[in-house]
Structure 1
Amino acid sequence: MKTSRLVGTAALLAVTAFGAQSALAYQAGDFYVRGGFEKSDPESGNGALYGDDINVSEDTGFAYGMGYLFHNKLGVELNGSQTMDQDLTAGNTGLGGSFDSTPINLMLNYYPLGGISDARVHPYAGIGVNYTHFDNESFNADLDESWGFAGQVGVDLSVTDNLLVGTWARYADVDTDVDIDGTYKTRLDIDPVTVGAGVTYRF
């Protein structure tokens, strides 16, 4: 399913429910869990291999998250996605293959409308750190794990006091050293932008 359809469906569900439901804003002490789907799209031009440009494919998968608000307007969140299967191609060299990447993000989120009791729309923005693990390279290469900056923006829409639907966009600084055959090294800059939509349950 395309990301645009995911986002549209989430927004439509929330708007339909607004007429008959009340809602409470995020507030200190809230704990939530989230599930949905997201599309990860690496930047174009991911490096060079034997003089040819490297390109890494996009992928879509299940996304998860959980968080806790320690202040009406501030909270921490751990999120990530299922392992992504991505293809790597290198121009006209004929070299390439696939690899798995598993991203995890630890974020500090800011909720500008947190603590406002009648708010039904809950925007947020966050900064934090991304960890990405690489595995199952189909070619004779080894990709190092990556640590880097992560940022996100999103919005949740209340369906009930506990159930919300929402969308998010996320950027992660993902760079890895690639060792091919133990003799050739290069740098792979993936830096994906991820867009997703899902359902959140708040306790």
Structure 2
Amino acid sequence: MKRVAVAVAILSAFSGMTYAHDAGEFFIRAGSATVRPTEGSDNVLGSLGGFNVNNNTQLGLTMTWMATENVGIELLAATPFRHKVGTGPTGDIATVHHLPPTLMAQWYFNDASSKFRPYIGAGINYTTFFDEKFNDTGKAAGLSDLSLKDSWGAAGQVGVDYLINRNWLINASVWYMDIDTDVRFKAGGVQQSVSTRLDPWVFMFSAGYRF
């Protein structure tokens, strides 16, 4: 009888275990985040065409607070992204670093106890640029004093959590960010400003822990 009682107790404990995204819980996720700009800009100095910007991958971090079983609030952070900037005729002429902290309100689909939770989100992005430098190619072309204006814009995302157990999960998400900036520099000592659209897609694959 004691063995039966122990077995019943164990089964009851396991039946009570859920993988739910419960109200009041926090999630921390960490993984690779790849920024892929869909850049466009005014012509540079009238003859060099628009800017082009390469992709970059860094450590992405998110923290999510579940306001309810279906509504989450998420903050995206990352280590600084580093992009090479160029134009068609000249190749790479500069490097630029940026950080794009983004705040999202999310809606999670499926039942709260499901291990598979797709979600969508919408929010606001702030991007700050720093350590902007022309390389030797840019300097040889007479370019100097590079700076980029910080940006505010809308953001959206789709993603999915798969809960491995009560505490651990894996995640995949795609973000879109509206990032517009003015690229300011001097050409031959004359001040220039080029309106530039980055509007990147961000692809993140991560592991997460909740508490």
**Matched-pair contact (CA < 8 Å) for 1:46–1:56:** no
Q: How far is 1:141 from its partner?
A: 1.1
Q: How far is 1:77 from its partner?
A: 0.7
Aligned to 2:184: 179
Q: Which amino acid aligns with 1:146?
A: S
- Cα distance change on mapping 1:94 and 1:32 into 2, 3 Å: closer
**Matched-pair contact (CA < 8 Å) for 1:129–1:150:** yes
Q: Compute the TM-score of the two structures, normalised by the length of structure 2.
A: 0.80
Corresponding position: 1:98 with 2:106? no
Counterparts of 1:134-149 in structure 2 under 5 Å? 134-139=129-134, 140-149=145-154
**Matched-pair contact (CA < 8 Å) for 2:79–2:99:** yes
**Matched-pair contact (CA < 8 Å) for 1:54–1:88:** yes
**Matched-pair contact (CA < 8 Å) for 1:25–1:113:** no
Q: How far is 1:157 from its partner?
A: 0.6
Partner SS, residue 49 of structure 1: coil
Aligned to 1:164: 169
- Cα distance change on mapping 1:72 and 1:92 into 2, 3 Å: same
Counterparts of 1:1-203 in structure 2 under 5 Å? 23-51=18-46, 52-93=49-90, 96-113=93-110, 115=112, 117=113, 119-139=114-134, 140-181=145-186, 183-203=191-211
Unaligned runs of 5+ in 1: 1-21
Q: How far is 1:24 from its partner?
A: 1.4
Q: How far is 1:82 from its partner?
A: 1.1
Unaligned runs of 5+ in 2: 1-16, 135-144
Q: How far is 1:72 from its partner?
A: 1.4
Identity, % of aligned positions: 32
- Cα distance change on mapping 1:84 and 1:47 into 2, 3 Å: farther
**Matched-pair contact (CA < 8 Å) for 1:35–1:62:** yes
Q: Compute the TM-score of the two structures, normalised by the length of structure 1.
A: 0.83
Partner SS, residue 132 of structure 2: coil
Greater shift in the superposed pair: 164-173 or 22-31: 22-31
Aligned partners of 2:63 and 2:92: how far apart in 1? Answer: 39
Aligned partners of 2:25 and 2:78: how far apart in 1? Answer: 23
